[in-house]
Structure 1
Amino acid sequence: MRQTPAHELIEALDILLQRLNDFSTLLPQSNLPFWLPDEQISNLPQCAALFSDIWYRDGQDGRVTRSQHGLIGADDKLIDLAHSVNAAKQSFQTLATQHRLSQDSDLQNQLTRRESFLAETLQHHGYSRLHLRQCYRLIPIIETRPVKIGFSWYTSGRSIKQLTPEQALQRLQKMDTSQTHIQMQIDALGHLMPGDMLAQLQTQVPVMRANLLWKQDDRMIRKARNVSLPMLILLQTGETLPEHNQPLSSPPEQRSRNLRSDLKIDPVPFLPSLRVHKYNN
């Protein structure tokens, strides 16, 4: 008999939990070098718990994930287990997405949210406190040792979505239009010229970025990636961790880059209730 989507989903989660358990059991047994800058996560057993942490804590905002950067030397067996964990994560995410879409095809724009029917399914099977964002994130694996890794906080990230005045008006009209500040913004839209476009800005949370450097023949190869978990680096016998810096444990409070003088978007909000700005002429 063919399994239902819900049973497939729970089975995929059980496989993921087993592989996380195998990985977290093997990791503390490693004798290879590692670097973990956080005092609260300073050894391999604590790090293993971080990799296996896919659950909510009381009062935790579902949009926030518990993150930690670092470097962990790994042998072939640990690397293989990490790949198996990542494969299980991807399988579970695919089934979770399909399960949600099978319930309601209009949810394609909400795939990053923990929808109520998925939560109810998990709760029915004893998994009510699963944190999907922490569940989906992959273990970062580096199978060719870099010569150098530079860590830095990226605090200037933001998403920009273009809106027409008509779209902005529709969104304002869904708010309490009896409020004076909403009416003022609706009136402001009436002064725009035909063809004007607006920009809706969303500041992104600071992320740790790793800049990796490899030397290949006479060339230097660079690659950057965001990291929310310590990176596993395949080390051969006698190899050490790559050269690396030690960034601040928390991001700076201000943007790390100065605003460009030719910034195309007016930094002053045009429609504050929507975080919408005008483009400079």
Structure 2
Amino acid sequence: MSGDGKRPEYRLLAELEDHFDRLVEQTDALVANWQASEAPAWSFEHGAADADWLRHALLDVWYQDGQDGRATRSHVGLVAANDTVMEAVMRVNATKKAFAELLAEIRRDVPTLIPEIKAILPFRHPALQDHLRGTGLARLHLKQCWRAIPLAEAPVARVRLAWYASGRSIKRLTVREAEQKLLALDSEAPHVRIQLKQLAGIPDGEPLAQVQSQAPLMRANLFYREPLEDGRHRRAMNIALPLFVPSPDGRLPDHNLPPSHPPATRTRARRRDERLEDTAFLPSLRVYRYR
């Protein structure tokens, strides 16, 4: 029990509630500031975009039925922003960062609070309750709460958007590390015993690759109107939320319209040093042998 009479876990929960309240309030203020500026916006899904679209995109923090908890929904778009709006974006992102850091602390120290957090936070704001009513989206998607709003650090002449559908996370494993991961599953399960036997049949020094496929995402290539202080003329970033770009003249940068869906197959050639066998060597771990 702490000196203020509250148990430590409830102090953490109260602090997280404060962060969430501030996040919603600052997001509302951001949208209001942008609407007052009368600057344009563009939505990849809808074309012309208004304040309702922007608020929905920035406050879409809900699970949908059947949604993978590791996946997040995207709302790709461009928003022309004056200095006041850019400052509002930075305030929201600072609060998102504080929310994420506190949530990581809770996951580490009091993980049993997470279900309660998902249940109570959505109902702290009447507007969010209205959004939930009748939709069945009563669970909070915590990752969608803290993901940062993308912003350009200087005025942009043009933006080129393209799907990136070849993403894979490849982590090298030793035979010993793969064995430990298999044993952590269930060493008595028949499919695990088969894989342990397969692993025992290769040299101890052979490197293995654990592969995690990444969902297709939109990548934006930004071309600045003037070189940055470090001499850069361009920047590439992944965007899952509307990209805010400083706009002294109140206009959007020139931009393209990418295909509505990502390509069905890989568009980039695999590097020779990352060539893996087509079939997983240890399916339970998504571990492959190098060719």
2:98 aligns with one of 91, 94, 102: 91
> Which residue number in structure 2 is paired with residue 271 of structure 1?
282
> Which residue number in structure 2 is paired with residue 21 of structure 1?
28
- Whether 1:198 aligns to 2:205 is no
Q: 1:84 to 1:131 in 2, by over 3 A?
A: same
TM-score (normalised: structure 2): 0.81
Match for 1:73: what amino acid?
A
- Whether 1:241 aligns to 2:248 is no
Alpha-carbon distance, 1:85 to partner:
1.0
Q: Is the 8 A contact 2:57 2:242 kept in 1?
A: no
1:130 aligns with one of 140, 145, 148: 140
> Which residue number in structure 1 is paired with residue 74 of structure 2?
67
Pairing of 1:1-281 with structure 2 (within 5 A): 4-39=11-46, 42-103=49-110, 115-124=111-120, 126=123, 129-173=139-183, 174-175=185-186, 177-179=188-190, 181-216=191-226, 221-237=233-249, 239-261=250-272, 263-280=274-291
Q: Is the 8 A contact 2:42 2:48 kept in 1?
A: no
Q: Is the 8 A contact 1:36 1:43 kept in 2?
A: no
Q: If each structure's helix is expressed as a fraction of its own residues, which one has the higher value?
A: 2
How many residues were matched structurally?
Answer: 267
TM-score (normalised: structure 1): 0.83
Range moving further from structure 2, 149-158 or 42-51: 42-51
Q: Is the 8 A contact 2:227 2:233 kept in 1?
A: no
Q: Is the 8 A contact 2:75 2:240 kept in 1?
A: yes
Q: Deviations over 1:90-133 (max 9, x none)?
A: 11112222223232xxxxxxxxxxx5422224535646722111
User: Using the alignment, how far apart are the partners of 1:215 and 1:232 within structure 2?
Assistant: 15
Match for 1:265: what amino acid?
L
Match for 2:212: what amino acid?
Q
Q: Is the 8 A contact 1:28 1:48 kept in 2?
A: no
Alpha-carbon distance, 1:235 to partner:
1.1
Q: 1:96 to 1:233 in 2, by over 3 A?
A: same
Structure 2 residue runs without a partner (length 5+): 125-137
Match for 1:85: what amino acid?
V
Alpha-carbon distance, 1:191 to partner:
1.8
Q: Secondary structure at the match of 2:107?
A: helix
User: Using the alignment, how far apart are the partners of 1:57 and 1:258 within structure 2?
Assistant: 34
Percent sequence identity over aligned pairs = 35
Alpha-carbon distance, 1:261 to partner:
4.9
Q: 1:66 to 1:40 in 2, by over 3 A?
A: farther
Q: Deviations over 1:41-74 (max 9, x none)?
A: 8433212211122223344332221202121111
Q: 1:85 to 1:122 in 2, by over 3 A?
A: same
User: Using the alignment, how far apart are the partners of 1:124 and 1:247 within structure 2?
Assistant: 39
Q: Secondary structure at the match of 1:142?
A: coil
Match for 1:254: what amino acid?
T
Q: Deviations over 1:138-169 (max 9, x none)?
A: 11122411222111111111111222222322
User: Using the alignment, how far apart are the partners of 2:205 and 2:265 within structure 1?
Assistant: 35
Structure 1 residue runs without a partner (length 5+): 104-114
Alpha-carbon distance, 1:77 to partner:
1.7
